[in-house]
Amino acid sequence: MTTQNILLTGFEPFEQEPLNPSWEAVRALEGWQCQGAQVVARQLPCVFGKALEVLDQMLTEFKPALVICVGQAGGRSQLSLERVAINVDDARIADNAGRQPIDQPIYNDGPAAYFSTLPIKSMVKAMRAAGIPAEVSQTAGTFVCNHVFYGLLHQLTQHTPAIRGGFIHIPYIPSQAARHPGQPSLALDTVIEGLRTAIQSAMTLQQDVVEGGGQLH
Amino acid sequence: MTTQNILLTGFEPFEQEPLNPSWEAVRALEGWQCQGAQVVARQLPCVFGKALEVLDQMLTEFKPALVICVGQAGGRSQLSLERVAINVDDARIADNAGRQPIDQPIYNDGPAAYFSTLPIKSMVKAMRAAGIPAEVSQTAGTFVCNHVFYGLLHQLTQHTPAIRGGFIHIPYIPSQAARHPGQPSLALDTVIEGLRTAIQSAMTLQQDVVEGGGQLH
Amino acid sequence: MTTQNILLTGFEPFEQEPLNPSWEAVRALEGWQCQGAQVVARQLPCVFGKALEVLDQMLTEFKPALVICVGQAGGRSQLSLERVAINVDDARIADNAGRQPIDQPIYNDGPAAYFSTLPIKSMVKAMRAAGIPAEVSQTAGTFVCNHVFYGLLHQLTQHTPAIRGGFIHIPYIPSQAARHPGQPSLALDTVIEGLRTAIQSAMTLQQDVVEGGGQLH
Amino acid sequence: MTTQNILLTGFEPFEQEPLNPSWEAVRALEGWQCQGAQVVARQLPCVFGKALEVLDQMLTEFKPALVICVGQAGGRSQLSLERVAINVDDARIADNAGRQPIDQPIYNDGPAAYFSTLPIKSMVKAMRAAGIPAEVSQTAGTFVCNHVFYGLLHQLTQHTPAIRGGFIHIPYIPSQAARHPGQPSLALDTVIEGLRTAIQSAMTLQQDVVEGGGQLH
């Protein structure tokens, strides 16, 4: 019997950062076993379009039982379980290939949005119980992270709707915040522990809990 | 020939506030003429379900050429042109009828989201040019404001897809911020002027401008 | 009998701003009568050293019964009644004459700090009662505003200790915030009304009220 | 020859927290050797007056060559090197003995403020170089932390002016932030490493560097 794969992706650095904590955290979990499945950690380019081509190949190659894409959210203070991916690219800065699309749909024939199919409320609950700062987030932005999140759900919905997928944003790590005075950060170990807890929840729970995680606005 | 109607809605007060600035601003524009159309200002209850019933009746009664729903966003500092409404209610507090739905779809058969059909980039650009703080927002939250925003676009899309509609969040006014130390506010006059500018843009522009208004995350 | 003077100062613009709301607010109160005294509104240069020379001349010329210096605090959302001025210049940017002192005392022989002699708790209380967002602030920074605040109290303490003096920081006005997306603002009218309320308190109250206005850190 | 002591204090928990990260960090450094001196880590009560009595006894007992008091600043994201202690207690909440002084001087005969005698600019520079988020702070608040900071400098100035002393505020640790959604945090290991770096700077540098660390307001 083959072991199931859990596909975990992080991004290459962008916006002049020397590293991307999403990749540093994800690579540390390569090979980690959870509920009889094993983590395959891979890096995505921070490039519109290209990131989705690479992700699609990974989906084909690894036939994962679970997919979690992780990205850096400089300025946030907690692990953010993204609730919804929207069908638009609106780039405040250029991506790593110099592209800066504005108000372009990701898939012309795609719906306006997809909801994460991860049990995000349970994941937040489990992380908080483990002492790890976490929240549900109502927006993944409109840059490459949202682009990948939307593209992932578009692929899964069309081809393997039973496979759960979603996106987690993580803060800067301290060495980045030391160069961006005032910005919050989390130690890489805390992030890695958070991702472990999140994966554990997603692999064991059939249904999400009903717990508030909304915003007034 | 009948004059065209512009339907502008505000909300009743909620969360122990003595007033709701969205209603105060909207009512001040009752009867205002813009591009040969006239503003009809109406109040919505801050109640899941009921707010949409009332809104649907207004759409039938006034057959508006443009619909803008306005709501209070305590804690924001600018007029926020909402980009997207999502198909979920997740109430952090109870509404004015004591209901607090968690992770319930607004319409069981509705899509995950609708994009605003207002020219939001043009509206932000015009407001800033007029000296009024404004932004594009990527989330309208998951409370009654998003509920109304989604329900409005669901109705318009199904029955009168040529009619533009959307949602604008506004900050506290100063008298509210005086009781919530540290929270930003905008004077009612500034908000009213902002709404006038926004309506003007929506009534005159056929197509939105292509200008950045996204977020990295 | 001569009318008493209330000296109100604002600053010239700095940091590439087209105007300084402190001067716009203060000049609007020129000649305003309060408790038998009359406002004299004057502008100070945003220059270390020079600002104090100009202020000292004004103190000599107008022999004011009350002195309130007002300055712009871009990023704050309320009128801030400053509690304490400290004896240090530490400039994050250059002043309008290109000077950028770092860790220099304002007066070599001055004490580490002076407390405002305005009834700041009463002033905040009166402003909030009037619906105007206000707070006590524990730091006036280390730029020209703190410099003027410290220099004012140094002069008053040495020569006319019975004369009350202090400093109020004010937010951007909306037209400035429209160019600094995300920053809070207050309408000029709200600021002017706040200053009127503040002056009224300072002219009528002999003693400050005992009301909390502190910070945990 | 006796080894020199470095006195490091943290506080007991307050405001319903199960722990105080300042004590957790400080106790981890008990016995740490730095430049031939050795850390003595002690806990202070979070009580006005009593905290200073205990601190004074420690100063007498340990005759330290350096004193750094550390306190929790929930809501801050970096280690904050406090620049100035002011002569006022203004408690937003009650201390652990139920006392809540408002606008009371700490020492009736004390000056308005004392500046930290630590080389705070050098300490921030060294921490940032080590990848640890740090800043100079212009206010230590008006609660027990500022009270201890002021009292420490009052004692040192009067009796042993050659001995350096100061105060460092630290963020929540992640397990606290997990219960205060949205608040930033730093891992305890990061804080401990930051304190080591800070002590190292203070023990080796005779003079502080001249580097900006101010605020506009």
Residue partners of D211: CB distance under 8 A and separation at least 6? C102, D121, D125
Backbone torsions φ then ψ of D66, nearest 5 degrees: -160, 140
Instruction: Grade residue B206 by pLDDT with cuts at 50, 70 and 90.
Output: confident
CB nearest A217 (choices: B103, B114, B140): B140
Active site residues of A: 82, 145, 169
> Of all residues in chain D, what percent carry a pLDDT higher than 70?
100
Rounded to the nearest 5 degrees, what angle is found at the Cα of C167, between the Cα atoms of C163 and C170?
Answer: 150
Task: For chain B, give the number of residues.
Answer: 217
Tell me the nearest-neighbour CA distance from B1 into chain A, angstroms.
Answer: 38
26-65 of A, contacting B, C-beta below 8 A: none
- Of all residues in chain C, the one with the smallest CA distance to B127 is C178
What is the set of active-site residues of B?
82, 145, 169
- C68, β-bridge pairs: C8, C166
Chain A, nearest residue to B121 by Cα = A103
**B137: Cβ contacts below 8 Å, ≥ 6 apart:** B76, B80, B81, B82, B83, B169
Q: Name the residue in chain C with its Cα closest to that of B187.
A: C187
Tokens describing residue A36: 């009889």
Asked if D191 contacts D144 with a C-beta cutoff of 8 angstroms, the reply is no
Q: How confident is the model at residue D98 (pLDDT cuts 50, 70, 90)?
A: very high
pLDDT category, C5, cuts 50, 70, 90?
Answer: very high
Instruction: State both tokens at D78.
Output: 């970096």
Distance CA A115, CA A125 (A): 19
Q: With contacts defined as CB-CB under 8 Å, which chain A residues touch B121?
A: 103
Question: Does residue D29 have a pLDDT over 90?
Answer: yes
* Position A206 pLDDT exceeds 90: no
Q: Which two tokens stand for residue B150?
A: 């989604």
Alpha carbons within 13 A on the beta-carbon side of A156? 26
Distance from the Cα of residue D11 to its chain's centroid: 10
Residues of chain D with Cβ-Cβ distance to C88 below 8 Å are: 83, 115, 214
Distance CA A207, CA A196 (A): 19
Question: Which helix (H) or strand (E) element contains residue B81?
Answer: strand B79-82
Instruction: Report the SS3 class of residue D201.
Output: helix
The minimum CA-CA distance between C152 and chain B, rounded to whole Å, is 27
Q: Where does residue B19 rank: exposed (0-12), middle (13-18), buried (19+ CB within 10 A)? A: middle
The 10s digit of each residue's pLDDT in D48-91 is: 999 999 999 999 999 999 999 999 999 999 999 999 999 999 99
What number is the average pLDDT over the span D180-204? 97
Partner-chain residue, chosen from D131, D135, D182, that has the shortest CB–CB distance to A174 = D131
The confidence score (pLDDT) of residue B2 equals: 72
D72 torsion bin: left (phi>0), alpha (psi -120 to 50), beta (else): beta
| B66-95 residue pLDDT tens | 999 999 999 999 999 999 999 999 999 999
- pLDDT at position C1 over 60: no
Neighboring chain B residues of C213 at a CB cutoff of 8 Å: none
Do chains B and A have 3 or more beta-carbon pairs under 8 angstroms? yes
pLDDT at D206: 83
Instruction: For residue C3, count CB atoms less than 10 angstroms from its CB and return exposed for 0-12, middle for 13-18, buried for 19 or more.
Output: exposed
- Residue of B76, B77, B191 for testing the chain C interface, max C β-carbons within 10 Å: B77
For residue B84, the 8-state DSSP code is E
Cα–chain center distance at B46: 13
- For residue A171, give the chain B residue with the closest CA: B217
Encode pLDDT of A127-184 as tens digits.
Answer: 999 999 999 999 999 999 999 999 999 999 999 999 999 999 999 999 999 999 999 9
pLDDT digits (tens, 9 = 90+) for A41-88: 999 999 999 999 999 999 999 999 999 999 999 999 999 999 999 999
Cα–Cα distances in angstroms (integers) from residue A202 to residues A66, A176, C47, C50, in the given order = 8, 29, 60, 65
Tens-digit pLDDT profile for residues B7-58:
999 999 999 999 999 999 999 999 999 999 999 999 999 999 999 999 999 9
The answer to whether the beta carbons of residues C111 and D111 sit under 8 Å apart is yes
Chain A touching partners, 3 or more CB pairs below 8 A = B, D
A155: closest CA of chain B, how far (Å): 16
d(CA C69, CA C39): 12
Cβ of A184 within 8 Å of Cβ of D184? The answer is yes
State in words which class domain C4-204 has. Answer: alpha beta
Percent of chain B with pLDDT over 70: 100
Q: What is the distance between the alpha carbons of residues D149 and D154, in angstroms, rounded to a whole number?
A: 9
- Taking contacts as CB-CB distances below 8 angstroms, the residues of chain C near D103 are 121, 208, 210
The per-residue pLDDT for C3 is 87
pLDDT at A96 over 90: yes
Inter-chain contact B133–C77, Cβ cutoff 8 Å? no
pLDDT, one tens digit per residue, over D154-186 is 999 999 999 999 999 999 999 999 999 999 999
- CA distances to B131, B198, C52 from B78, rounded to whole Å, are 11, 13, 36
Q: Which residue in A131, A133, A178 is closest to D133 by CB distance?
A: A178
pLDDT at B150: 98
Nearest CA in chain C to B175: C131
Query: Quick one: tokens of A56?
Result: 């699609």
| Cα(A27)–Cα(A10) distance, integer angstroms | 8
Residues B69 and B167 sit within 8 Å (Cβ to Cβ): yes
Ranges A154-158, A202-206, C134-138: which has the least confidence = A202-206
Q: Do A and C make contact, counting contact as 3+ CB pairs within 8 angstroms?
A: no
pLDDT band for position A2 (cuts 50, 70, 90):
confident
- The confidence score (pLDDT) of residue D108 equals 97
C34 is catalytic: no
**Which residues in chain D are contacts of C141 at CB distance < 8 A?**
138, 214-217
Of B77, B133, B174, the CB nearest to C132: B174
Cβ count within 10 A of residue D206:
5
Distance CA(C41)–CA(C25), nearest Å, equals 9
Chains B and D touch (3+ CB pairs under 8 A): no
Mean pLDDT of chain D: 97
Rounded to a whole number of angstroms, the distance between the first and last alpha carbons of chain D is 48
Give the C-alpha separation, B159 to B156, whole Å: 5
Closest CA to D123 of D201, D34, D7, D39: D201
Return d(Cα A17, Cα B214) in angstroms, integer: 20
Span C65-96, pLDDT tens digits:
999 999 999 999 999 999 999 999 999 999 99
**According to the model, what pLDDT value does residue D1 have?**
54
Q: Does C154 qualify as catalytic in the annotation?
A: no
Nearest to C174 among B133, B135, B177 (CB): B133
Contacts of A112 in chain B (CB under 8 A): 84, 111-115
**Chain B residue with the nearest C-alpha to that of A95:** B216
Closest of C39, C71, C42, C200 to residue C143, by C-alpha: C71
Alpha-carbon torsion D72, D75, D81, D83, what sign?
negative
Which pLDDT does position A1 carry in this prediction? 55
Q: In angstroms, rounded to a whole number, what is the distance separating the alpha carbons of residues D171 and D177?
A: 9
* Chains D, A in contact, 3 or more Cβ pairs below 8 Å: yes
- Please check whether residue A75 touches D, CB under 8 A: no
Q: What is the pLDDT of residues D30-53, one digit of tens each?
A: 999 999 999 999 999 999 999 999
* Closest C-alpha among A163, A196, A165, A186 to residue A69: A165
In chain B, residues with a C-beta closer than 8 Å to the C-beta of A113 are: 84, 86, 111-113
A73: helix, strand or coil: coil
- CB–CB of D117/D84 below 8 Å? no
Cross-chain residue pair C141–D214, CB shorter than 8 Å: yes
What are the residues whose beta carbons fall under 8 Å from the beta carbon of D53, sequence distance 6 or more?
A: none
Structure tokens at B79: 């007029």
3-state secondary structure C16-46: CCCCCHHHHHHHCCCCCEECCEEEEEEEECC
- The question of whether D217 is a catalytic residue gets the answer no
Phi, psi of C91, rounded to the nearest 5 degrees = -90, 120
In this complex, do C174 and B135 lie within 8 Å of one another by their Cβ atoms?
A: no
Q: For chain D, positions 105-134, list CB contacts with chain A under 8 A.
A: 127-128, 130-134
- Which residue out of C22, C46, C93, C216 would a mutagenesis test of the D interface target, given it has the greatest number of D Cβ atoms within 10 Å? C216
Rounding to the nearest 10 degrees, give the CA dihedral for residues C98, C102, C108, C110.
100
Looking up tokens 């402003």 gives C127
| Angstroms from C143 CA to nearest CA on chain B | 22
Query: What pLDDT score does C2 carry?
Result: 73
State yes or no: pLDDT of B1 exceeds 70. Answer: no
Query: What residues of B are in contact with residue C128 (Cβ under 8 Å)?
Result: 178-179
Residue type, C120: I
| Cβ neighbours of B86 in A, within 8 Å | 83-84, 113, 115, 138
What is the mean predicted confidence (pLDDT) over B164-177? 98
Q: What ipTM does the predicted assembly reach?
A: 0.96
C46, C135, C154, C169: the catalytic one is C169
